[in-house]
Structure 1
Amino acid sequence: MSIYVGNLSYDVNKEDLEEVFTEYGSVKRVHIPKDRESGRMRGFAFVEMDSDDQEQEAISTLDGAEWMGRTLKVNKAKEREPRGSFNGGGRSNY
């Protein structure tokens, strides 16, 4: 399982997130996606912890919490949906 952490300050780094989530258990991984063009973080991250119980406690406590001037959105991350093929606006067969 992975935790989605949204509405993050653009000043947040991996160590900041590890510090906050370590209060609820052992953090296995923190991933902060970056914008391809600007290289800036996109305002959300994913955190993986050792157990579902630890992740659930972090979600319950941190969802809606104020941190670094922002109200966090914390929930169970959804599985990434496969990208479909492009079917619109292309060439016609006529």
Structure 2
Amino acid sequence: MFTSPIQLTDVRYNAAEQQFEAAVRVLDRGGRRSYACAIKAPISMSFEQAAEGLAKQALRRHRNRGGMFSHLSPSGFARRGGRRAFDSKRWLEDVMAQPLTSAA
């Protein structure tokens, strides 16, 4: 059985909504998917319990493929052919070489 690694980032307690919130990333063979998760809980709940609840929610959504998520494919990006890299020094030299003109 394949177990998906879980990464929790930006875990915070929202006092107005009385819930723990986090961005949870699930890594599997299909790439990386991030889910915005929230669980209703008192502020006195331990971090370990909150993290477990957030991870369970993300895994449930990942298995069911439901709800909103962001997806990062496992393949890297390819540079577009025929396009030069932007050279800021050369651009600035070109701008400075232009004759001064008045906008009025």
TM-score over 0.5 for the alignment? no
The alignment's TM-score, normalised by the length of structure 1, stands at 0.28
Q: Which has the higher strand share?
A: 2
